Amino acid sequence: MAKDPMNDHKCEKIAQVSNMGKGREMWLGKLLEPIPNEPQETHCLHIKSQYKEIVWGILAEDLSAYVVLDYILRGHAINERWLQHMAEKYQINL
């Protein structure tokens, strides 16, 4: 099995999801160096649960797909005012 290049990636945290629950966290990072053989990936998504921790190299289109999955799950679009409020809450001011 090939070595996961995300194990050694360098990033800067730009947003952190709050109130995920005990043993859970999620945050978004901006890559400080390109991922070998994956120059299109500009960011990383860190997800931790009580059982597993993973990091994905991502780009904006990946996050757009997550919004579509949210729509499928809920059956309606995210309220734009709520979304703006949460974005301000999660974003880390540098």
Q: For residues 59 and 29, what is the distance between their CA atoms, to the nearest angstrom?
A: 11
Token couple for 40 = 């299109």
DSSP the chain: -PPPGGGG--EEEEEE-----TT-EEEEEEESSPBTTBTT--EEEEEE-SS-EEEEEE-HHHHHHHHHHHHHHHSSPPPHHHHHHHHHHHBPP-
Range of the domain at 19: 5-90
What is the model's pLDDT at position 74? 93
What is the model's pLDDT at position 12? 96
Best CA proximity match to 18, nearest among 91, 94, 93 = 91
What is the model's pLDDT at position 20? 85
Q: For residues 44 and 37, what is the distance between their CA atoms, to the nearest angstrom?
A: 15
Q: What is the pTM of this model?
A: 0.85
Structural domain count of the chain: 1
Query: pLDDT tens digits for the chain (94 residues)?
Result: 778 889 889 999 999 998 888 999 999 999 999 998 888 999 999 999 999 999 999 998 999 999 999 999 999 988 999 999 999 999 987 4
What is the model's pLDDT at position 43? 96
What is the model's pLDDT at position 18? 86
